[in-house]
Amino acid sequence: MFTMKYTPVHLKLGVIALIGFMLLLFAGLNLSSEWNLSSGLNLSSGLNQGSEANAPVDPEQPLIRFHVIANSDSKEDQALKWAVRDRILSELSPRLAQSQSLAESRSLLEELRPEMERLAETVVREHGYEYSVHTEFGRFLFPTKSYGSFVLPAGEYEALRVVIGQGQGANWWCVLFPPICFVDIEHSTAVPVDGKAPVPLKQEPSGEKSDAKLSDAKPVVKLWIWEKAKEILRR
């Protein structure tokens, strides 16, 4: 009976073939992920401040909004709102920016809600106020809103709301998933909201760095099968 002997060369060729198959599979999954992330929303083009065209968005599209609602419309309460927004974006953007799906964002939000409340309460106390802070996560009715040059028509949307005090003041909002406002927070906070002049992210004093700054370096992603294959090929 004929038997085939496998040499190290055969083993390496087999590993190379397997690597090729896995890379093709990974590429397909990656393209699928990117397609799901965009979900038909050309949101990135809506962030171009120079764009004049409004791009209406279907309320049924899979997205999650993020709102920070001030206690009142007084100058002081509005300034506090911006400070709360800046702290939450700076501290949590590295984690929320990694979300690849609606389900993952929902899970992250449930996990991060207590931390959001803690961060917001810390900012409130630092500014000398005793306002309570709470978060709300669910589906809410919203009037027509604009962010940059795209428009979200009035309707019911899934949203995470950070409510300061009575929550009777004007709010700042952006899109949490797809993670538009958590990928580049300096750019996302420099976008006009509801036609009003933007209030950019406040830079921290020199010598201090936020978690977002410390996490600017992109993580290195390694595939287990590729690392193992390299070990075999080096033999």
Average model confidence (pLDDT) across the chain? 74
pLDDT for res 179 = 81
Annotated domain spans of the chain: 8-38+224-233, 44-203
Q: In this predicted model, what pLDDT tens digit does every residue of 172-219 receive, in sequence order?
A: 998 888 887 777 777 777 777 877 887 877 755 433 444 433 344 344
Q: How many CB atoms lie within 10 A of CB 201?
A: 19
Compute the distance between CA of residue 183 and CA of residue 163 in angstroms, rounded to an integer: 23
Predicted local distance difference test score (pLDDT) of residue 37:
43
Mean local confidence (pLDDT), 100-110: 92
C-alpha to C-alpha distance for 41 and 111, rounded to whole angstroms: 26
| 3 state SS of 176 | strand
Percentage of residues in the chain with pLDDT exceeding 90? 36
Q: Using CA atoms, how far apart are residues 221 and 31, in angstroms rounded to an integer?
A: 16
Do 104 and 80 touch, CB atoms closer than 8 A? no
DSSP reduced 3-state for 150 = strand
Higher pLDDT, 32 or 140: 140
Which H or E run includes 92? helix 75-96
pLDDT tens-digit profile of 126-148?
A: 999 999 999 999 999 999 888 77
